[in-house]
Amino acid sequence: MTVTGYSDKINHALAFAAKHHDRQVRKGTKLPYLTHPANVAVILTRYACDNDTVVSGILHDVIEDCVREGYTREMLEQRIGDKFGAKVLDTVLAVTYRKQDDDGVELSGDDRKADYLERLSGASEEARWVSAADKIHNASSIISDLRRTVDNETIWSRFGGGRAGTGRWYRQVYERLRELGFNAPIMEELDNVSGELQNLAG
């Protein structure tokens, strides 16, 4: 991979994400949602990922979370593809949780996770990097919140899977990526973070 840094494309991706995540906050906090994709970008940059992978990390939640106020999923896909290219769009779609399967059947929360894990098998190397970085930041954020909070249940209750389900989920993503032969350097960090969160979940 080529070492990346500041670029117009990354700058435009941050502006695009800021526009579409406007007024959204991180679950159970008052933090602007943009702090998450920005941190995913920082993680990917630490591992010298290329521009398109970093841009995909910045945009990875736009399609999933920003279908609102006149924007359909199709419109967001079109805008990302037009502005950032087909490779970025494909990477974003690979790590986007689906609400419906290929037959249009509504997926439950557990089914969405199973579908996500299954689709990683056909995902590109870049998408697997984004998946790992996304899970590292989410899990690290939960761990930090748990360390700052006296009543840990107020943290676990933010998530549909509760304590056990949340701890297990991040470990499942790590194990799935490893099973698929994704042995990039970022996997050591994901191993450590997901393992620590699972231990805290008990």
Which CATH number characterizes residue 176's domain? Answer: 1.10.3210.10
Q: Let me know if residue 3 belongs to a domain.
A: no
The domain of 118 spans: 8-201
Question: What is the domain count for the chain?
Answer: 1
Task: Indicate yes or no: pTM above 0.85.
Answer: yes
Block means of pLDDT (10 residues each) for the chain, 202 residues, are 70 94 82 93 96 97 82 92 97 93 88 96 98 98 93 88 91 98 98 97 88
Cα separation values, 65 from 1, 25, 128, 140, Å: 29, 11, 20, 21
Q: Let me know if residue 113 belongs to a domain.
A: yes
Structure-block tokens of residue 25: 């906050």
* Residue in the block written with tokens 């899990």: 139
Q: Let me know if residue 161 belongs to a domain.
A: yes
Q: What pLDDT shows up at residue 5? A: 61
Q: Let me know if residue 122 belongs to a domain.
A: yes
Helix (H, G, I), strand (E, B) or coil at 85: coil
Q: Let me know if residue 48 belongs to a domain.
A: yes
Q: What pLDDT shows up at residue 1? A: 46
* First and final C-alpha spacing in the chain: 37
**Which spans in 95-201 are helix H?**
109-119, 125-148, 153-156, 162-179, 186-201
Is 18 within 8 Å of 34 (Cβ atoms)? yes
Q: Let me know if residue 111 belongs to a domain.
A: yes
